[in-house]
């Protein structure tokens, strides 16, 4: 536990949400300092996927932006003795549209150079990027219904998979959704990623529909988030 106490005062200024595995693993809030590792884990976890094809520099800007945005949140799994190194993470947003707007305006100076470098090498990516920008409009929420939050990515280092780390992260995320008063959490998963779908179903997500994105079939799943009881809110 000494390592965890040291962590609390460490440079990252993280609050330890949960200490597990006898103090060897801690779940903390995702922070901009995790961006390089998050980009690396994303590329390892989603080889061949569109965001991965944008490259490490673009992903690093994304993961630096997300925890600083009012619309973004997430959790990281770290070894308290090496708090700088990310072992796994989950990221989410209360509004994909708001997050994209922020990246396309305030964060554009950071985003544009690495993005244009990738488009120069692979011009076809620009068309797929347009699809990404249009993504929030694919699932317009009916008027009067609170929009769901969206789980954007969950990545566990390959050597740590199937050891329950993903379960800890998704549990922390659902608890945070509940704390924020979010009624539902959506996730889009490649139809071919059956392992991830089993994982989501195990954590209360149910299948919603299938749509095409980047020429691939994508399944949308949703978890309902129970409202906090009045006693807990007080
Ligand atoms: C999906 C993932 C986040 C789950 O985290 P985890 O720590 O391995 O999960 P847990 O140990 O809590 O649960 C194990 C379950 O995860 C899923 N899983 C395990 N390895 C997986 C892999 N390589 N790819 C996809 N899902 C996997 C399986 O459903 C597994 O259950 P099973 O053994 O009964 O098949 C993790 O495996 C991963 O990072 N996969 C690659 C990235 C990815 O596909 N992310 C989801 C899409 S955004």
Cα angle value 45/46/48 (rounded, 5°): 140
Q: What percent of the chain has pLDDT over 90?
A: 59
At residue 9, what are phi and psi to the nearest 5 degrees? Answer: -100, 5
pLDDT grade for 4, boundaries at 50, 70 and 90: very low
Give the right CATH number for 2-137+148-233 from 1.10.110.30, 3.40.50.300, 3.40.630.30, 3.40.50.280: 3.40.630.30
Which has the higher per-residue pLDDT, 49 or 136? 49
How far is it, in rounded angstroms, from Cα 25 to Cα 18?
8
pLDDT digits (tens, 9 = 90+) for 201-214: 999 999 999 998 87
How far is it, in rounded angstroms, from Cα 129 to Cα 137?
14
For residue 42, give both structure tokens.
């994303």
At residue 74, what are phi and psi to the nearest 5 degrees? Answer: 180, 175
The Å distance, Cα 166 to ligand 1 centre, comes to 7
Cα 126 from chain centre = 23
- In the sheet that holds 25-29, the strands lie side by side as 16-20, 25-29, 72-79, 82-93, 149-156, 184-190, 216-224, 206-213
List the domain boundaries for the chain.
Answer: 2-137+148-233
Q: Has residue 197 got a pLDDT over 50?
A: yes
Ligand 1 pocket, residue 105 CB under 6 Å: no
CA distances from 60 to 33, 88, 92, 107, 233 (A): 10, 15, 15, 12, 35
pLDDT grade for 231, boundaries at 50, 70 and 90: low
Which has the higher per-residue pLDDT, 220 or 146? 220
pLDDT digits (tens, 9 = 90+) for 72-130: 999 999 998 888 889 999 999 999 889 988 888 999 999 899 988 988 888 888 877 77
Strands (E), 41-129: 72-79, 82-93
Can you tell me the mean pLDDT for 3-21? 47
Ligand 1 pocket, residue 45 CB under 6 Å: yes
Residue with CA nearest ligand 1 atom 31: 199
Residues 197 and 206 sit within 8 Å (Cβ to Cβ):
no
Burial 191-214 (b: 16+ CB within 10 A, else e): eebeebbebbeebebeebeeeebe
Which one, of 164, 171, 100, lies nearest residue 132 by Cα?
100
Q: Which residues contact 217 (CB under 8 A, 6 or more apart)?
A: 190, 191, 192, 210, 211
In testing the pocket of ligand 1, which one of 154, 162, 188 has its CB within 8 Å of the most ligand atoms? Answer: 162
The Å distance, Cα 194 to ligand 1 centre, comes to 9
DSSP 9: T
Q: Has residue 21 got a pLDDT over 80?
A: no
Residue with CA nearest ligand 1 atom 2: 166
pLDDT digits (tens, 9 = 90+) for 126-137: 877 777 766 666
111: left (phi over 0), alpha (psi -120 to 50) or beta: alpha
């Amino acid at each position: 536990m000494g390592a965890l106490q040291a962590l609390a005062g460490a440079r990252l200024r993280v609050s330890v949400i949960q200490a597990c595995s006898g103090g060897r693993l801690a779940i903390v809030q995702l922070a901009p300092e995790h961006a390089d590792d998050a980009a690396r884990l994303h590329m390892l976890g989603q080889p061949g996927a569109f965001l991965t094809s944008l490259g490490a520099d673009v992903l690093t800007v994304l993961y630096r932006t997300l925890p600083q945005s009012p619309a973004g949140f997430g959790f990281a799994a770290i070894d308290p003795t090496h708090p700088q190194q990310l072992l796994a993470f989950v990221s989410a947003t209360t509004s994909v549209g708001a997050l994209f707007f922020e990246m396309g305006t305030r964060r554009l100076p950071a985003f544009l150079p690495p993005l244009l470098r990738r488009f120069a090498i692979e011009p076809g990516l620009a068309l797929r990027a347009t699809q990404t920008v249009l993504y929030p409009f694919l699932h317009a929420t009916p008027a009067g219904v609170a929009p769901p939050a969206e789980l954007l990515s969950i990545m566990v280092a390959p050597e740590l998979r199937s050891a329950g780390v993903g379960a800890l992260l998704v549990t922390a995320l659902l608890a945070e959704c509940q704390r924020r008063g979010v009624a539902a959490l959506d996730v889009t998963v490649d139809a071919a990623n059956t392992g991830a779908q089993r994982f989501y179903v195990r954590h209360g997500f149910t299948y919603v529909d299938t749509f095409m994105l980047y020429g691939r079939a994508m399944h949308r799943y949703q978890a309902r988030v129970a409202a906090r009881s009045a006693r807990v809110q007080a």
